[in-house]
Chain A
Amino acid sequence: MSTTGSENTMSEGRLATPLRGETPGLLQGMRHVFARDLRVVLRRRADATAALMFFIIVVSLFPLGVGPEPQLLRTMAAGVVWVAALLASMLSLTRLFTDDHHDGTLEQLLLAATPLPLLVLAKMAVHWLTSGLLLALISPLLALQFDLSPRATAVLVGSLVLGTPLLSLIGGIGAALTVGVRGAGVLLSLLVLPLVVPVLIFGAGAVAASEGGFGFSAHFSLLGAMLVLALFLAPLATAAALRIAME
């Protein structure tokens, strides 16, 4: 905004100068979104709790349905927990942007002083803290039902901590694409679940590899690499999708 010519009046000079004479920090905008979203989730705990209960129930149904065969349960534990985690995080993903869309705060995000990808990243961080992280923390309890060894349980928790942020990041792209669409829930799952197949394979695979004596570091490295890539790309893609959806 420096190209105001010499013929400009005083009032136009004022228009061109920011009042506080400083550009707002990028982190400040992120902090506002983060704090606001976290407050909203904490005051409406029903949604986060519902996803967590869904996760617990789905995982618990398997031992009941399959029967008390310890070897079989140990083999399938990681896969069951991971699939349940995928489905549970889909439940809360639909709300990532639709609530904001309905109450008008999404438009304000697009008009914020902070670049949209950073704000989107803050929203995804809240989503992960209130869904993926909770699932990872509760999973050792559920692993007991499958007679998993302490070592395998630790690997499972580690893979969930590394892998569930990917669900929030990749899921965010899908949530942005389906903003304002009727029946977005099913569409979102159809869009996102195929994309997170690699996360499922390497997440559940880490436990199997560790139990098979191969070591899990390769799986964790791949999950970490995917996470770094998604941390960079997913907010950009989500922001672009939101701009298109809001036009």
Chain B
Amino acid sequence: MSPALELRTLRCVRGERLLFDGVSALVPAGQMLRVLGANGSGKTSLLRMICGLARPTRGEILWLGQPIAELREDFNTRLIYLGHAPALKDELSALENLRASSGLAGQPCSTEDAATALAQAGLRGREHLPTRLLSQGQRKRASLARLALGAAASLWVLDEPFNALDDAACSWLQGLIGAQLGRGGVVVLTSHQGLVWEATPPQVTLTLRAPEATPKVQATIAG
């Protein structure tokens, strides 16, 4: 079975520092790629590369055997990326935010669908409040509600999705991830090691380590 997502010898350089080099992974459909590593080891950079927001200094990323750089908008309709920032407009309600972000991603949803997703996220009764009035955890839930509508997207890329969530929200999110993997989708995420899964999903683990011998990049580029 050919892999859904393939990372080929990726190298990431930020400024003059080499963050990681030679990172490769094969992720079959229905599996999770868990990215581990210390703070500053390039987890977020790797996730941004997988989305196509940043280009790897070397190497390439393939989705169903095709380089993502060639797929662009076609790839974007299959992708949900949730980064550190919740991507919510403070002035708009959770409902308006959710409808706009799903619509932009090419996965439009009706008001009823959006309200249902927000209710599942535990925001029933707060759908119409401007999101600046929500707490940190509630904002995170509002942002994650996109995943409840995200069945059309076969690749989820989540940067620290469990941060700021309480136990109830954690198990809700684990359920969503489990369902996505069950549908044959792929989930890429970073999370703290301490997280306890109710049912450990099939996964590939990738640990990022800075190459020790080459603190400066110039040497490697010259070589």
Contacts and interface: CB of A to CB of B under 8 A. Distances in A.
Interface stretch (B80-88, B119-127, B213-221): B80-88
Interface in A103-126: 103-105, 107-115, 119
A88 B109 CA distance: 38
Contact of B96 (A20, A39, A119): A39
A246 B49 CA distance: 11
B78 interface: yes
A180 B159 CA distance: 20
B104 A33 contact: yes
Interface string B180-206: 000111100000000000000000000
B152 A18 contact: yes
A18 B53 contact: no
Contacts of B85: 102-104, 107
A7 interface: yes
Counting chain B CB atoms within 10 Å of each CB, which of A9, A24, A112, A113 scores highest? A113
Main secondary structure of the interface of A (DSSP, over half): helix
Nearest to A109: B104
Contacts of B183: 11, 14
Contacts of B64: 1, 4, 12, 15-16
A35 interface: yes
Interface in B94-125: 96, 99-101, 103-108
Interface stretch (B18-26, B33-41, B68-76, B161-169): B68-76
Nearest to B102: A32
Contact of B87 (A4, A104, A113, A246): A104
Contact of A32 (B2, B4, B103, B154): B103
Contact of B92 (A8, A12, A40, A110): A40
Interface in A206-242: none
Given A103-B88, A112-B104, 7 more contacts: A14-B183, A39-B91, A105-B87, A108-B104, A111-B52, A113-B73, A247-B55
Interface of B: 1-2, 4, 29-30, 51-55, 64-66, 71, 73-74, 76-79, 81, 83-92, 96, 99-101, 103-108, 130, 151-152, 154, 183-186
15 contacts: A1-B71, A9-B1, A12-B4, A12-B29, A12-B184, A15-B186, A18-B78, A39-B91, A104-B83, A104-B88, A111-B52, A111-B53, A113-B76, A113-B104, A119-B104
